[in-house]
Structure 1
């Protein structure tokens, strides 16, 4: 259909709005002016406009997935103290490799992080989660207690299978602080059903203050405890973070800083007349 340049310019905003192409709508005028000036082929102009639209869609999708993930804001590798004195065996390249998702997300692999309170377990797994979202993956972060309550509510409403299927859209589900959950026949058996449902299909990451030997306080009985651990460990990366408390060291450092400020001599009195 032949149109003059002015006619095309008049109809384009309506067409782009109807087609829901906001990025092209914002950029077409500048790029068409450039194309006219520099003599671009039509295919080149079209490719540039579509590339902008695709890039901005990806950016909006990542932002939307981040907001829906429940991941703690700010807990990324950019804010992580890699100089902190970790126990041997924990290395920055290893953590960054896990953050790509390659080699474990596709096969439904798991991450299990053990360590005392304050050693950075939640920050590490949250940073991995943020990086996975940047790479186009879906992540859901939840305290284990909150997840158990939601699973139990779904069971009461006879919708647990449906909820488990809906959770399949997430490449990784993070269950933070599993050790804070205490066994209840109905509640923690629902947690086991989540673990069993995702086994070898989709990934789970768990942080815990207690080693496996303490998980008998989480699941209703020895058989279910062993079955849950077996499924989680089968395809897993296990990270132990039992060093000095990061929060304690940071608090001590802040206290030392305040002491240094308080130890500064007062300004001499003003002796001017």
Structure 2
């Protein structure tokens, strides 16, 4: 029907990784994550309505991107608009718009998205790209529309991202003011999930043994 087609169109336009949903998220490989908490965020309601933010921290491979993408897919199912992109790509687009004197128009255009997911913020370096435009996006959406950010470095390392310490503090203040912060620590989610699949696929029970270890 029309609603289903609209949801599918929004999903196609979101940039979300197609396979990273809750159906494929291995909660057993992410022991620090509470499933009810993620599902509550996926419902959207209060934090999206109030322009709250979601910050996910953890080393590479701990499942940050999969978790936030799954939340994004679920939000689209509820009728929300979501945009997923790498932080590097977003910064390049913002900087291009600034050069064209169209940054304010681009920021306004991005307002149609209830949530913008910026993946891998820690890979952005101020000595490689002009990151002050990223601060303008954060400031523009503050208390109006939501951002979700994944990062493998703590706030103390964000001076490597923004042009000066004052801008770093201002960006963090705006992101944290109305935010949910999730720490995804422990062994690599990708490694644990892969080992579990290998063990399940390769297990060859001896005669009379159960099909899977108990």
TM-score by shorter chain over 0.5 = yes
1:75 aligns with: 20
Question: Do structure 1's residue 167 and structure 2's residue 101 form an aligned pair?
Answer: no
Report the structure number with the largest CA radius of gyration.
1
2:44 aligns with: 101
Indicate how the Cα distance of structure 1 residues 70 and 119 shifts in structure 2: closer, same or farther if over 3 A, else same.
same
1:158 aligns with: 101
Q: Tell me, in whole angstroms, the C-alpha distance in 1 between the residues paired with 2:107 and 2:142.
A: 12
1:5 aligns with: none
8 Å CA contact retained: 1:185, 1:220: no
Q: Which of 169, 177, 183 is the equivalent residue of 2:126?
A: 183
Q: Which of 181, 199, 204 is the equivalent residue of 1:238?
A: 181
Q: Which has the higher helix share?
A: 1
8 Å CA contact retained: 1:62, 1:133: yes
Gaps of 5+ in 1: 1-55, 265-273
Gaps of 5+ in 2: 206-214
Q: Tell me, in whole angstroms, the C-alpha distance in 2 between the residues paired with 1:93 and 1:162.
A: 38
Q: Tell me, in whole angstroms, the C-alpha distance in 2 between the residues paired with 1:65 and 1:257.
A: 36
User: Number of matched residues?
Assistant: 206
8 Å CA contact retained: 2:29, 2:193: no
8 Å CA contact retained: 1:189, 1:220: yes
Secondary structure in 2 matching 1:104: helix
8 Å CA contact retained: 2:25, 2:66: yes
Q: CA deviation at 1:83?
A: 2.1
8 Å CA contact retained: 1:139, 1:172: yes
8 Å CA contact retained: 1:184, 1:219: no
1:64 aligns with: 9
Q: What's the CA shift string for 1:204-259, capped at 9, x where partnerless? A: 00000001011110001100000000000000000000111011223434555687
Q: Tell me, in whole angstroms, the C-alpha distance in 2 between the residues paired with 1:202 and 1:175.
A: 14
Task: Indicate the RMSD between aligned Cα atoms, in angstroms.
Answer: 1.8
8 Å CA contact retained: 1:175, 1:204: yes
Q: What's the CA shift string for 1:106-125, capped at 9, x where partnerless? A: 11000000001111000000
TM-score w.r.t. length of structure 1: 0.72
